[in-house]
Amino acid sequence: MSDITEFEFDGAAGRIFVRRWVPDGPARFVVLLAHGYGEHSGRYQHVADRLVELGAVVYAPDHHGHGRSAGERASVPDMDLLAGDLHTVADRAADEHPDLPVVVLGHSMGGLVATRYVQLYPDGLTALVLSGPALGVGPNLSLLAELDPIPDIPIDPAVLSRDPAVGEAYDADPLVYHGPFRKETINAFLTGVDNAVNGGSFGDLPTLWLHGSADQLVPYEATAEVIDVIKGSAFEHIAYDGAAHEIFNETNKTEVLDDLAAFLQRVVP
């Protein structure tokens, strides 16, 4: 079982809201969880529950402009700014749970943030997990960035998962952003991917990349091209045949969470 608490802090561009899940028993490691574009950390309750079962303390901020954090909705000025806010959360975690191993887990945009986090703040990390990381979005977003005005086309909930209930819950969630992409956010994605490509490899940090083969939001093949540039010597990968973008909410989510747990049990001391 887990106990969820909340706190806020002054981030780089405004107040940041954080959810924290703590196990009933002794904590073994810390997980810094970075959510995806337009959503919020509250959608990861079931993921946090599984991590807590392994002995993790999970810290999951709502990124700037997302969820219950400050900022214009879905406006991201810089992916490195989000990585910096996550680093502030890491400092808080280190104060509250000193000397524990630290794992960074990021989904979609959060996977790009997690990538930049590892490249900017590599010290003291134990593992990295990337779920459908937004590293292969360059071609599609480059075309979108050239349009003026940007068309009002929000993310189609139907492409998130083969489970229609996931899209329905996403569509009804008041903390999820349902509007069009903002120009500054598109530019932040494109700059973030460029920075990731040129930011250096993951070295010997144990890394697990998870991705759905039928992901329409972050194409698998384009992501693989970037991953091949930055992956390190302790890299593992699992592709889920037919799975869409939100693999933690897919019809085979139990399999995905089992794979995540098996990886962490192997690499966390």
25 pLDDT tier (thresholds 50, 70, 90)? very high
Question: Mean pLDDT score of the chain, rounded to an integer?
Answer: 95
211 pLDDT tier (thresholds 50, 70, 90)? very high
Q: Say whether pLDDT at 222 is over 70.
A: yes
User: Can you name the residues that pair with 101 across neighbouring β-strands?
Assistant: none
Backbone angles phi, psi at 82, to 5 degrees: -65, -40
Mark whether 24 is an active-site residue. no
Catalytic residue among 108, 131, 161, 259: 108
Sequence-distant (6+) residues with CB within 8 A of 178 are 38, 154, 155, 171
Tens-digit pLDDT profile for residues 82-122: 999 999 999 999 999 999 999 999 999 999 999 999 999 99
| Whole-number percent of the chain with pLDDT over 90 | 90
Give pTM, 2 decimals: 0.97
> Which parts of 147-198 fold into alpha helices (H)?
164-172, 183-197
Mark whether 233 is an active-site residue. no
Tens-digit pLDDT profile for residues 43-54: 999 999 999 999
- Contact, 61 vs 8, CB < 8 A? no
Catalytic residue among 62, 64, 245, 259: 245
Residue type, 185: T
Catalytic residue among 78, 80, 85, 215: 215
Tens-digit pLDDT profile for residues 122-173: 999 999 999 999 998 866 787 787 777 777 877 899 999 999 999 999 999 9
Give all strands (DSSP E) within 62-151, no chain letters.
102-107, 127-131
Task: For residues 1 and 181, give the distance between their C-alpha atoms in angstroms, rounded to a whole number.
Answer: 38
Backbone angles phi, psi at 219, to 5 degrees: -55, 135
Query: For residue 67, which of 114, 133, 22, 18 has the smallest C-alpha distance?
Result: 18
Task: For residues 258 and 260, give the distance between their C-alpha atoms in angstroms, rounded to a whole number.
Answer: 5
> Which sign, positive or negative, has the C-alpha torsion 218, 221, 226, 231?
positive
Tokens of 252: 């085979």
Mark whether 213 is an active-site residue. no
Report all structural domains of the chain as residue ranges with CATH numbers, in order of start.
2-267 (3.40.50.1820)
1 pLDDT tier (thresholds 50, 70, 90)? low
